Chain A
């Protein structure tokens, strides 16, 4: 029985059946798959964002020798939930001369873009929403989509702070997208795979088989460059010029209040999870357990399921991002763009050429 048999001999029906849902036994099966997929994307979003915001505040507080939020729940663990409730009940102050439609539509764009990236993250051996064959190409395509929402929202909100913040955001995020693209391509070259799942599976073995070590020197340099570029791509400190509060109050979000602001903010944290997940997928073995080559220890380490390892690696990378934020001073916008175009892009191109040499000579460990 084929419940997807929408209409016989109709081009739209044929398209739905054969292109969108090939090999689909019936509608119930498709619906189950869809519900699982939605859960797999929404869980990380709604679990991680409150946790990460709390973690950010705690990490930052302890690095500055203070306590951070302490009142709501143990060590302030419910602080973010209280904040979300406050935002939900906040009066929405629409500024006067905004372009109403783009202003109201824009906050959805960054969040939607981050959903699209989140869907291809491999969480475990069989825990991935979608695995397009050309996963890297797909990530390149949707990666730069979120910037659109920032530019539209800021332009529509009719404010000098927002406009300047969005201009910085556009130049910064687009520039760093270039080096992220080259580094992703380098990983695709080293592993010979383009699907994210296959990239993870190409790192099976001990920790020395992760791409950070497996490609001698090149892998480690690529890891460091990817970390720096993704920090800039995320607009996180020290590269948070987009919302440098001393200069631009809140940058592109200045005129947003309530849930509109919350959507931009949520997208930022979800993007942080995505970038951390990509770092762990590309360089740190993704959902594969840490193996050190000593049989009894490896047995214990491999007993934990893949998703635990994935989450642990993501949290490690996220911690490094937060550490960056409190360790370095903020550069100027021209210094930031010069760093990208005059240092990182040439370095990435040289690294890529070295990668081609490594692969074609078979010098992979």
Chain B
């Protein structure tokens, strides 16, 4: 069986198990009449003031964007690394090992430059 078929199956299994457990919990839980206080957003006993979907710091989103860039760059590095390993093993890849290593290093340099740029631009600053 192809490994991806099994992995797809686990996608299904995980969901079924988790929702099955939650459904069992719902069926077994005692049903008592709800008081209005039970339905309030939990804030250690105080009532919520204002909207609960508060504004949050934009910095969080900055870091998510940075992740997006760096994750994709890591993914792009992956085939380069595979090619480097293959050419070091002496397989026919059309590129000499030292040249391949140089290209990977160049890519890492570009990645680092991106980080330095973001740093200089103040994307890593919290205030």
Contact = CB atoms under 8 A, between A and B. Distances in A.
Contact of A111 (B18, B54, B115): B18
Interface of chain B: mostly helix, strand, loop or mixed: helix
Contact of B41 (A160, A174, A262): A160
B101 A359 contact: yes
B108 A163 contact: no
A112 interface: yes
Interface string B99-127: 01100110010011001000100001010
A130 B7 contact: yes
Interface stretch (A5-13, A54-62, A87-95, A212-220): A87-95
Contact of A163 (B56, B66, B81, B82): B56
B42 A259 contact: no
Interface of B: 1-11, 13-15, 17-19, 21-22, 24-26, 28-32, 34, 38-44, 48, 52-54, 56-57, 59-60, 63-64, 66-67, 70-71, 74-75, 77-78, 81-82, 84-85, 88-89, 97-98, 100-101, 104-105, 108, 111-112, 115, 119, 124, 126
A164 B10 contact: no
A111 B13 CA distance: 10
A115 interface: yes
Given A30-B1, A112-B14, A160-B48, A178 B71 contact: yes
A108 B29 contact: no
Nearest to A114: B14
B81 A171 contact: no
A129 B6 contact: yes
A164 B75 CA distance: 30
Given A131-B3, A349-B112, A356-B101, A88 B28 contact: yes
B84 A360 contact: yes
Contacts of B74: 140, 178, 181-182, 185
A185 B75 CA distance: 9
A96 B7 CA distance: 37
B126 A115 contact: no
Contacts of B3: 129-132
A188 B85 CA distance: 9
A163 B53 CA distance: 7
A353 B108 contact: yes
Contacts of B115: 341, 345-346, 349
B40 to A, nearest CB: 6
A160 B54 contact: yes
Interface stretch (A18-26, A75-83, A230-238, A298-306): A18-26
Interface in A28-72: 30, 33-34, 37-38, 41
Contacts of B108: 349, 352-353, 356
A19 B25 contact: no
Of the four ranges (under 10, 10 to 19, 20 to 34, 35 or more), the interface on chain A belongs to: 35 or more
Contacts of A178: 66-67, 70-71, 74
Contacts of A92: 25-26, 29
A88 B24 contact: yes
Contacts of B88: 192, 359-360
21 contacts: A21-B1, A24-B1, A91-B30, A111-B14, A114-B14, A116-B10, A163-B56, A174-B64, A188-B81, A188-B85, A192-B89, A258-B25, A258-B26, A259-B21, A263-B22, A341-B66, A341-B115, A349-B115, A356-B104, A356-B105, A356-B108
A163 to B, nearest CB: 6
A160 B98 contact: no
B22 A259 contact: yes
A244 interface: no
A127 interface: no
Given A163-B52, A192-B88, A341-B115, 5 more contacts: A91-B32, A108-B22, A115-B11, A160-B43, A359-B85
A89 B52 contact: no
A29 B70 CA distance: 42
